[in-house]
Amino acid sequence: MKRMIIGKNRIMLLTALIFVLVPVIRPGQPVKAAGDGAAVVVSGSVENATDDWNVMTQRLDEAIQNGTGQNVGFLVGNHFEIPTDILGRLAGKNATLALHTSNGVTFSISGGEIYAADAPFTVDVSFESVIPDEVKQQLPGNNTLRQFSMVQKDAYPCILNVHLALGEEYAGKHAVLYSYDEAGSRMRQEGVFRINGQGNAMFGLRRGDEYLVAVYRGYTVAEGDTLSHVAARNHISVQSLLALNPQIRDADLIQIGQMVNLPN
């Protein structure tokens, strides 16, 4: 794989690019995802993107001027740098920069989610398995669909949204993002996203880490529900249900509309 760095005037052409479909949703539409903050879903596909730096910056300036939440696609490799001039130009604006990798994954940055633009940040992403098998086995079931990790473990100056094409057969299920806590030798749940009808999911990342995405059946809490009722209807114990839902800190406090993961 050739190395591509954003910020150079000349961008190397990718020799291998897998076609990626990202969620087909109105450009700039805000989507509330479980976890930290909101993210912006990117619409369109990789074939609308460019690998030319000058074309990308021109399109980005036009999108910023339009102020309608337009997405600008840019083809990158698995190693890229977002320079300060791009962050500063985009910060606070209603536009999104979509960064298409060569491994079926798209990253995106929305102007409204940039909270520091005084330094560039680099992303080196790998799609090889780096999490020990014995740690992954802590997760209920054998439902891992994707793994990716970043070399740099620093906090990001913006929310870096990751868009994953998981497959239409998983539509309606819950994609659960975990990060690897190496010191504690355990997996941490970072967020939950209900997979859309096209089989896509999205998460907002605030830092580089080792990540894993697993898929589970899901349930949305309705009026009158209790966690014990949900557990009984699905023939599992409350303890097992809590183990699959660490985001539920109190079994007696669940809210209407809350997403609950269920074993497959």
* pLDDT of 30 strictly over 80: no
Same domain, 167 and 40: yes
Is 21 a domain residue?
Answer: no
Looking at per-residue pLDDT, the higher value among 23 and 163 belongs to 163
Q: pTM of the full predicted structure?
A: 0.76
Same domain, 147 and 255: no
Is 89 a domain residue?
Answer: yes
Same domain, 90 and 180: yes
Residue 195 sits in a domain of what CATH number? 2.60.220
* pLDDT of 47 strictly over 60: yes
Q: Which residue has the tokens 């669909």?
A: 145
Looking at per-residue pLDDT, the higher value among 188 and 38 belongs to 188
Same domain, 42 and 74: yes
Give the confidence band of 45 by pLDDT, cuts at 50, 70, 90.
low
* pLDDT of 36 strictly over 50: no
In 3D space, the residue among 160, 154, 14 whose CA is nearest the CA of residue 82 turns out to be 160
Same domain, 56 and 108: yes
Same domain, 231 and 149: no
Is 255 a domain residue?
Answer: yes
* pLDDT of 176 strictly over 50: yes
Q: Are 68 and 80 in contact (CB under 8 A)?
A: no
Same domain, 211 and 233: no
Residues spanned by the domain of 179: 30-216
Is 145 a domain residue?
Answer: yes
Same domain, 232 and 210: no
Is 144 a domain residue?
Answer: yes
Same domain, 168 and 253: no
* pLDDT of 28 strictly over 50: no
Looking at per-residue pLDDT, the higher value among 30 and 257 belongs to 257
Of 40-44, 128-132, 204-208, minimum mean pLDDT range: 40-44
Contacts of 111 (CB under 8 A, 6+ apart): 64, 90, 91, 92, 93, 94, 95, 96
* pLDDT of 58 strictly over 90: yes
Is 168 a domain residue?
Answer: yes
Same domain, 199 and 254: no
The beta-strand segments (E) located in 1-143 are: 30-32, 38-40, 70-75, 79-82, 95-100, 105-110, 121-126
Same domain, 212 and 231: no
Domain count for the chain: 2
Same domain, 127 and 232: no
Average pLDDT of the residues in 63-84:
92
Is 95 a domain residue?
Answer: yes
Is 249 a domain residue?
Answer: yes
